[in-house]
């Protein structure tokens, strides 16, 4: 009971800190929100995976949600940072999003595969400690699958279509 109470405080504080770090690194609330939009999609996948496997929400699942949020944010940051760089080179928003999504697909998929495949042994564990391992691994695997659907490029075009970035040197490279 005590751990659950702490977790209801720790998870929102962790997510708020992640958003603040994104805002500070990107310098834009809109871009930080776009990157952060991957978190609810990841959390939804984690909850769906728990439901599919019939595993109750537990403390270890809560820890999995925190880890999952980090992976989802990292993948979003990889894509948005590259799109911003392409916009700085003079590409239109649609061109930058298209090229950015295709170019960064492999790194995002590799991050997702490494994280999710690394948790498979924990997800199918049956021995001692499996009751702690299974919820954590299930949340991470389910969330990574749902957050890797690359909805972020579509959201970028939808909400940032008027975005124009001038190159730092004042000329197109």
pLDDT at 54 over 90: yes
Q: Quick: pLDDT tens for 15-45.
A: 888 889 889 988 888 888 888 888 888 889 9
Q: What's the confidence (pLDDT) of residue 172?
A: 46
Distance, in Å, from the CA atom of 132 to the CA atom of 64, rounded to the nearest integer, reads: 11
Q: What's the confidence (pLDDT) of residue 30?
A: 83
Mean pLDDT (whole number) for 108-127: 86
Q: Residue 89, CB half-sphere, CA atoms under 13 Å: how many? A: 13
Q: What's the confidence (pLDDT) of residue 26?
A: 82
pLDDT at 60 over 80: yes
Q: What's the confidence (pLDDT) of residue 139?
A: 93
Q: Where are the domains of the chain?
A: 11-17+29-160
> Sorting pLDDT into bands at 50, 70 and 90, what band is 173?
very low
Q: Quick: pLDDT tens for 69-108.
A: 888 888 888 888 888 889 889 888 888 888 988 888 888 8
DSSP state of 91: -
Q: What's the confidence (pLDDT) of residue 90?
A: 87
Comparing CA positions, the residue from 172, 166, 152 lying closest to residue 36 is: 152
The answer to which of 53-62, 114-123, 148-157 has the lowest mean pLDDT is 148-157
Q: Residue 137, CB half-sphere, CA atoms under 13 Å: how many? A: 19
Tell me yes or no: is domain 11-17+29-160 CATH 3.30.70.60: no
Burial zone of 50 (CB within 10 Å; 0-12 exposed, 13-18 middle, 19+ buried): buried
Q: What's the confidence (pLDDT) of residue 51?
A: 95
Q: What percent of the chain lies above the pLDDT cut of 70?
A: 91
The sign one gets for the Cα dihedral 120, 54, 38, 10 is negative
Q: What's the confidence (pLDDT) of residue 80?
A: 85
């Amino acid at each position: 009971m005590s751990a659950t109470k702490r977790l209801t405080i720790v998870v929102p504080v962790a997510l708020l800190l992640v958003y603040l770090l994104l805002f500070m690194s990107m310098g834009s609330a809109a871009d930080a929100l776009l990157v952060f939009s991957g978190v609810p999609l990841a959390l939804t996948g984690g909850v769906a995976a728990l439901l599919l496997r019939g595993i109750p929400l537990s403390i270890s699942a809560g820890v999995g949600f925190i880890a999952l949020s980090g992976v989802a944010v990292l993948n979003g940051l990889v894509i948005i940072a590259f799109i911003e760089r392409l916009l700085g080179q003079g590409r239109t928003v649609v061109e930058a999003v298209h090229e950015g999504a295709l170019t960064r697909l492999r790194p995002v998929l590799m991050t997702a595969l490494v994280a999710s495949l690394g948790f498979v042994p924990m997800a199918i564990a049956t021995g001692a400690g499996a009751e702690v391992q299974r919820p954590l691994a299930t949340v991470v695997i389910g969330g990574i699958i749902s957050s890797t659907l690359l909805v972020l490029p579509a959201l970028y075009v939808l909400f940032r279509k008027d975005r124009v970035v001038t190159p730092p040197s004042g000329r197109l490279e």
